[in-house]
Amino acid sequence: MVVFPLAMMEGRRFAAPWLLAVLLAYFAVQLFASEPVFYESFDETFEGRWIVSEKEDYKGVWKHSKSEGHEDYGLLVSEQAKKYAIVKELDAAVNLKDKTVVLQYETRLQTGLECGGAYLKYLRPQEGGWIPKEFDNESPYSIMFGPDKCGYTNKVHFILKHKNPKTGEYVEHHLKYPPSVPSDKLTHVYTAILKPDNEVRILIDGEEKKKSNFLSADDFEPPLIPPKTIPDPDDKKPEDWDERAKIPDPDAVKPDDWDEDAPMEIEDEEAVKPEGWLDDEPEEIDDPEATKPEDWDDEEDGEWEAPKISNPKCEAAPGCGEWKRPMKRNPAYKGKWHASLIDNPSYKGIWKPQEIPNPNYFELDKPDFELIAAVGIEIWTMQDGILFDNILIADDEKVAELYREKTWKSKYDVEKERQKAEEAAAGLSDGLSGIQKKVFDVLYKIADLHFLEAHRGKIIDLIEKGEKQPNVTIGILVSIVVVLLTILFKILFGGKKRPAAPVKDASETAKSAPAETDNSQREEEHEQEDAAAPRPRRSRRET
C-alpha cells in the first residue's frame, strides 16, 4: 500500500502541484515495470522480423502456424531430421548484471520428442561485421536454456558461457542435475530466474524444479570459480608405495585333496531313459505341404530343400532322437584354489599427489554476465511439430507470472482436459488410472535425484514406456525397482577406489571436453539410416 502525503490544512486546497507530479511519476514507474523488456507472441508472421539462417547446414523450414486445437499462433518446426536456425536481434541489449532477469518461453512437442532440442540461445553482442542470416552453432551466446532429449540425454539445459578473467577464454558452465523434460504433448512454459544474489531458479509451468547458486561448485560443471589448490602434476608415486589393502596369505597351502581339474558337472549315472522315447525319430522333418516355388532357379538359388517343421510324433512322446543322460553338479568340484586374503602389513593407502596452489585460481563475487543482444533458436531434431511461442525477457518475476497466466495457463488447461477426455474414452485399460499417474509422478521425482544423474536417461526411458503401455505397468515398475536397487548397490558396495585424477581448472576442462551443445556431434551419434539393405534369397529355411 502506498500512502501519499496530503496537505490537510483547513480552508486550503490540499492537492499541491508537487503531489500531482509525484502521482504521475509513481504511475509511470508502475506502468513501465509491468512491461517486459522483450516479448514475442508470434501473433503475426515472423517473416521480416526474425532472420532465418542461410547457412548450408540449416535446411529446416520454419512456419507461422497455429497450435493444434487453438487459435494461438507460434513458430513451428515443420520437418523431421533437419537442422534449424533463426534469430531476432533486440532493439537494445539486455544487461543481466546487478538485477533480477527472467527468461521465459513456451514450447509444445506436438509429435513428441525422441531425439532433438527445443532450447533457446541468448546471444551476446557479436563481433563487427556479423550477419544475422549467417547465424549458426558457432555464434557466441551468453545463456542457453530449454529442453534437450536424445538417447540417455533428457534434461532442461541451463548453460552459462562465462569469460575466464585470467585467460580471457569463454567456458561453458552446465547446470548440474537439471530437471527432465515433460514427456507429454502439451504446451509447457519454461522459466529461468536470475537473481542479483547469484541465485538461479528453473521453473516448469510455474513450479520451481531447481534452485542453484552460480558460484557453487556443487551446482555447475565446471565450477565458475576454480579450486584454490590442485594436485601437483609433477608429484610422482614412490616405486615402493603399496596400495593393496589385502594380499594372499603367503603361509597358506593348498589341501592335498583339492582337485583343481575336477569338472563342474558330470553325467547323472542314476538317470533312466523315459519310457516311450523315440530313438529313431528326428526332432524335425521336412514340411510335407511345402512345394518348390515356381520361380526357383537351381543354378542361381542352389538345390531347393523343403523347410523344416517340428516332428508331430515327438509331441506325444517324452522325446525324440538320441537320448543322453542329463548333467548334474559334480560334488567333487572345488575350482581353482586361491590362498585366503590377509591384511597387507605394507599397505600405505591410496596414493594421491600433494596439493599445490592453483595458478589459475581467481575469486569472483558474482558472474560477469555478458549482454544479451539477440535471441536465437539453433537446433537439430528428428521430430517435427515443435512449436515455440511467447518468448519473454523481463526484469520482474511478477511480469513473467502475469504472462504465464495470460498466455499459457488457459491453453494448458484446455489441452489437459482434452487429454483426460481421450483417456476416459479409450477406457481404463488403455489409459492410466489415478493411482498409476501418482506412481509415475513419484518416479519422475526420483529420477531427478542428484545421485541418479548418470542413470537418469535409462530410468526415464523405462518410465515413459510404462506410461505408453499401461497394461504392462507392473512389469515396468519392477524393472525400475531393479535398476534403482542395482544403482544403490553399486554406490554402497562399489568397486576398488582409484587414485584421484588431477583436477583441471575451468579453462582446461572446457578445452578437453567436447561441448554438449554441438549439433554436428549429436548428428553423428544419433543419425539413422533411411532404408534397409535388400534381403538376400535363401536356399533353405533358416532354423
The domain that holds 203 is classified in CATH as: 2.60.120.200
Q: Are residues 406 and 447 in the same domain?
A: no
Phi-psi region of 216 (alpha: psi -120 to 50; beta: other; left: phi over 0): beta
- For residue 442, being part of any structural domain is answered with yes
State whether residue 300 is helix, strand or coil: helix
The packing angle between helices 434-447 and 456-468, to 10°, is 170
**Domain end call among 474, 491, 508:** 491
- For residue 502, being part of any structural domain is answered with no
Count the Cβ atoms, other than its own, within 10 Å of residue 67: 19
- For the purposes of burial, counting CB atoms within 10 Å of the CB of 263, is it exposed (0-12), middle (13-18) or buried (19 or more)? exposed
- For residue 337, being part of any structural domain is answered with no
Strands 386-394 and 101-109: antiparallel
- For residue 344, being part of any structural domain is answered with no
- pLDDT number for residue 477: 67
Q: Are residues 50 and 112 in the same domain?
A: yes
- For residue 360, being part of any structural domain is answered with no
Q: Are residues 377 and 445 in the same domain?
A: no
- For residue 266, being part of any structural domain is answered with no
Q: Are residues 137 and 215 in the same domain?
A: yes
543 residues of the chain, pLDDT tens digit each: 444 444 444 444 444 566 555 555 545 544 445 689 999 999 999 999 999 999 999 999 999 999 999 999 999 999 999 999 999 999 999 999 999 999 999 999 999 988 999 999 999 998 888 899 999 999 999 999 999 999 888 999 999 999 999 999 999 999 999 999 998 999 999 999 999 999 999 999 999 999 999 999 999 999 999 999 999 999 999 999 999 999 999 999 999 999 999 999 999 999 999 999 999 999 999 999 999 999 998 888 899 999 999 999 998 899 999 999 999 999 999 999 999 999 999 999 999 999 999 999 999 999 999 999 999 999 999 999 999 999 999 999 999 999 999 999 999 999 999 988 888 887 644 445 566 666 766 777 777 676 676 676 677 777 766 666 655 556 666 777 777 777 777 666 654 444 444 444 444 444 444 344 455 444 444 444 333 333 333 333 333
Domain that holds residue 453: 433-491
Grid cell for residue 408: 499459457
Report, in angstroms and rounded to the nearest whole number, the Rg of the chain calculated over CA atoms: 34
Cα 460 from Cα 512, distance rounded (Å) = 29
pLDDT tens across 177-187, in order? 999 999 899 99
- For residue 212, being part of any structural domain is answered with yes
Q: Are 352 and 498 in contact (CB under 8 A)?
A: no
Q: Are residues 78 and 191 in the same domain?
A: yes
Q: Are residues 397 and 438 in the same domain?
A: no
Q: Are residues 404 and 449 in the same domain?
A: no
**Domain end call among 416, 449, 482:** 416
Q: Are residues 161 and 43 in the same domain?
A: yes
Question: Which of 389-405 are b and which e, b meaning 16 or more Cβ less than 10 Å from the residue's Cβ?
Answer: bbbbbbbbbebbbebbe
Q: Give alpha helix (H) positions in 321-408.
A: 397-403
Q: Are 198 and 217 in contact (CB under 8 A)?
A: no
Q: Are residues 399 and 444 in the same domain?
A: no
Q: Are residues 399 and 438 in the same domain?
A: no
- For residue 139, being part of any structural domain is answered with yes
Q: Are residues 377 and 478 in the same domain?
A: no
Q: Are residues 78 and 108 in the same domain?
A: yes
pTM of the model: 0.67
Q: Are 202 and 179 in contact (CB under 8 A)?
A: yes
| Domains: count for the chain | 2
Q: Are 243 and 350 in contact (CB under 8 A)?
A: yes
What residues contact residue 330 under an 8 Å CB cut-off, 6+ apart?
A: 262, 263, 264, 265, 266
Distances (CA, A) of 73 to 41, 154, 388: 8, 27, 9
pLDDT tens across 53-105, in order? 999 999 999 999 999 999 999 999 999 999 999 999 999 999 999 999 999 99
